[in-house]
Each structure stands twice: as C-alpha cells, then as structure tokens.
Amino acid sequence: MDWFAWDFDHPAYFDIYADKAADAGREGPALAALLDLPAGSRVLDLPCGWGRLHPHLAARGLAVAGGDLSPLNLRRHALEHPAPLARLDLRALPFRTGSADGVFCAFTSWGYFATAAENLAQLREFARVLRPGGVLLLDLVGRSSLERATARLRSRWRDYPDRGYRERVRWSPDRRRIWTERQCQGAAFRHDIWIPTDAEVRACLAEAGFRPPAASGGLDGQPWSEDSERWIYRAVTR
Ligand SMILES: C[S@@+](CC[C@H](N)C(=O)[O-])C[C@H]1O[C@@H](n2cnc3c(N)ncnc32)[C@H](O)[C@@H]1O
C-alpha cells in the first residue's frame, strides 16, 4: 500500500495532527485571502482532509467542493463540515476540464508521489480542471527552513507523550525527500515527501501549464524568501 493511503486514513492521524484543528483558525482566513477569488467562485479544496479549512473558504462566499483519498477524512469532513465531497486520487481528478475557478492545495499536499512524473501529473490535473485564468494556491513548507529545523532534531526519536506518539524525522540519502516516521496507537507510519527547491516548484508549475507564480513567504502575504517557513504560490493558468 502507498504510504499516503495508510498514514492519513488511520485514526492516529487525528491525534498526531490534533493541533492543526486549532491552527485552522489562523491559517484558513489567511490562505483564503491569498487565494483571492471573488464570492461565488467555484473552488476545489484538494486534498481537503477533514475539511478544517473549509469554513474559512465558505466564509468568503466561495462555492467549495472537496476531494481526498482517505475515507476516514471524508467521513469526518461530511460530519463536521457538510459539503460536496469526492473520494479521488490527485493524479486523476474526476472533474470536468475547465470547470473550476480555483484549486486550493494547503498544508504541503504536493510531493507525496514516488516519481517526478506523478508529482507533475498532480499539477497537470490542477491546471486541467481550472478554467483559463483560473487560480491555484499551493501552500508548501519552505525547504531551507525545514533543513534548519531537521538539523536541530539530528535524526533522533522524540517522544510526544501528550499526544501519545514518537517521531523521527530524516532526509532521504539524496536529500530530496523528508521521511517522518511515527509510532502511535500501536501502529507505524512513514510520511515520504519530496521537498522541492523554489526553482523546482516553478519549473513544475510552468510545465503543468501555469504562468510564473506570485509567491508569499507566510500567511500575512509577506514577501517570499529562501528562508521563509512557508512557500505559498499563487499560480494562474495560461
Ligand atoms: C497534510 S493533509 C492536508 C489536508 C488539508 N489540505 C488540510 O490542510 O488539512 C494531506 C491530505 O492528502 C490526502 N492525500 C494523500 N494522498 C492523496 C492522493 N493520492 N489523492 C488524494 N488525496 C490524497 C490525505 O488523505 C490527507 O487528507
């Protein structure tokens, strides 16, 4: 089984990422503002997870539909934030070409696939379902800040007793991917995510059919810098 089909569809995911529910109150309004689409726009939240950011998109009058691979996340989304939802794979979206005004991709939800072709396919699908002039908001962790943070961790296991898990974060030997191993609720997980450079993000967006993106270095829309903790790209289709 692919790691992303297992890690995100286990109840432990909600414990490990419990703080992200509270973060949504800060992240949602800011990211929705950076998406910067008028009320009434058709926006796809991909992947939507359990919908923690959905209320903040809806609050701007956007017509939001969500999609995700995880049935567990989709069930929670339907209970907590009812909305049109689809179970899907990011590499082949079940939406019509040119049918959306915006795609909202938050919380480093790109780079999960093992090959460059598959990761590019995700962006190509985003471009395909957007109308010409449609907007993608791609919210990624900044590579350089992650390198600094992981250097401090020194690849050691750390315990988080309050949330009942332990974790070890390492780079793959070629330093292109970050491996986050976790043990929680008697199960083992391993995120395996490609962390691109800014040049790689821009090259992939161009290849997928987007114009050169604007980039912010944080939720307040501050200017992008190599050292920013978040790299938030707003890209418009050609
Ligand atoms: C880090 S979460 C982010 C969710 C949401 N954007 C947020 O900010 O809360 C990543 C999500 O990607 C979903 N996912 C992982 N691989 C996927 C795939 N191949 N197709 C669709 N969704 C996928 C997971 O199920 C999970 O809900």
Task: Identify the structural domains of the chain with CATH numbers, from first to last.
Answer: 3-143+197-236 (3.40.50.150), 145-189 (no CATH)
Q: Is 30 helix (H, G, I), strand (E, B) or coil?
A: helix
Residue pair 187/203 in contact by the 8 Å Cβ criterion: no
For residue 185 the two structure tokens come to 């609720």
Q: What is the mean pLDDT of the segment spanning 102-118?
A: 98
Q: Is 70 in the pocket of ligand 1 (CB under 6 A)?
A: yes
Examine the pLDDT at 155 and tell me if it is beyond 90.
no
For residue 35 the two structure tokens come to 């998406």
Out of 7, 70, 180, 182, give the residue to mutate to test ligand 1, the one with the largest number of ligand atoms within 8 Å of its CB: 70
pLDDT band at 162 (very low <50, low <70, confident <90, very high): confident
Q: Is 216 in the pocket of ligand 1 (CB under 6 A)?
A: no
- 162: CB partners within 8 A, 6+ apart: none
Residue pair 89/68 in contact by the 8 Å Cβ criterion: no
Q: Residue 154's pLDDT is what?
A: 83
Examine the pLDDT at 60 and tell me if it is beyond 90.
yes
For residue 79 the two structure tokens come to 């209970």
